[in-house]
Every structure is written in structure tokens, then in C-alpha cells.
Amino acid sequence: MQTNWEELLPEGILFSIKAINDMSLIKSDLLKKLIYSHRIEVTKLNSKNFISRTALISYLSANTIPADN
């Protein structure tokens, strides 16, 4: 069974680090490390970093290990 991130994530285009942390998906400390190491795509608006829904789904899909059936 494959996790369907399209259904699980709320609608939206860009998510702030705080919003992703509040969804309990990825902690803000880990997100900052991923951003600084260029492992997740980020959009910078003024001084704030935002992650697109598409980039978040791509990252989560690539780092999801399927369970054995």
C-alpha cells in the first residue's frame, strides 16, 4: 500500500515552516536542516522560507519506506 500524500495534505500552494510543524509532518528543526543542506526545494519571500505543496509531497514520497504486506 502506498501513502497518498495528495489526500492527506491540506489544500494550499505554499506552507511555512511553522504550518508544516503544526501539521505534525516534519519538525521545524529538521526542516531548517533540510533547507540549509538543499535537500528540499524552498521559496523565499522577503526573509521567510516557504515550501510548496508539490515539493513537500515529492520529499515525503521519496523518503517513505513502504511497509511489508
Residue 31 belongs to some domain of the structure = yes
User: For residue 29, what are the domain limits?
Assistant: 14-62
Residue 46 belongs to some domain of the structure = yes
Q: Which pTM does this prediction carry?
A: 0.84
pLDDT in tens, the chain (69 residues): 577 888 888 899 999 999 999 999 999 999 999 999 999 999 999 999 999 999 999 999 898 888 776
Residue 6 belongs to some domain of the structure = no
Range list of β-strands (E), the chain: 14-16, 43-45, 48-52
Total domains, the chain: 1
Residue 9 belongs to some domain of the structure = no
Residue 1 belongs to some domain of the structure = no
Residue 5 belongs to some domain of the structure = no
Location of C-alpha cell 515529492: 58
CA atoms of 32 and 38, how far apart (whole Å): 10
